[in-house]
Structure 1
């Protein structure tokens, strides 16, 4: 089995473990990430869906009341002002399940992380 396909199946299984309304949000988040980082490898790392291109880009995970999005500390710092309305920490942000995903912001963060990883890999 193709390694990427194997990982996609695992991400499918991860998403399928949640209620339908959460699955829809996770699928949309996955789609945004794939569009913003089409060359990224999809895998499970730290028991979470993870996207890697020249190193890890972002991870996400669903919880009872939010989706955790993990774009590394640099991704949080670069978008600190836009993320200020959400709970978060040094390398994470929480998107409440009862609110729409900030789709354009997520896209921008993923694109930032792709660029950052590419620049680091060229050094």
Structure 2
């Protein structure tokens, strides 16, 4: 009985006809016209432009320049080093000031010392 209901119901469901519009807005219902329209659409979608359009960078607001590191920040960073890795007691006040000057120089010039780049320390 259920099998017969499924057969009757399957036959009675209306088939939906696919329709799309062409470039001018005309409705296309024939399968060959629809396939040609999709081919045309895909061709235009992935078509390379005649000449390359240069990409321009969007204008961004000027970023605020951060101030160079404070001596207290350098002192804190040195104090956070592990034992045996130049702790603050061994550097001393003058060594800390020299390290601060070095950090400030690197910060303002945005350049690492050549010795640091070559790993020759």
- TM-score, structure 1 length as denominator? 0.24
**Bigger RCO of structures 1 and 2 (CA < 8 A, at least 6 apart):** 1
- TM-score, structure 2 length as denominator? 0.24
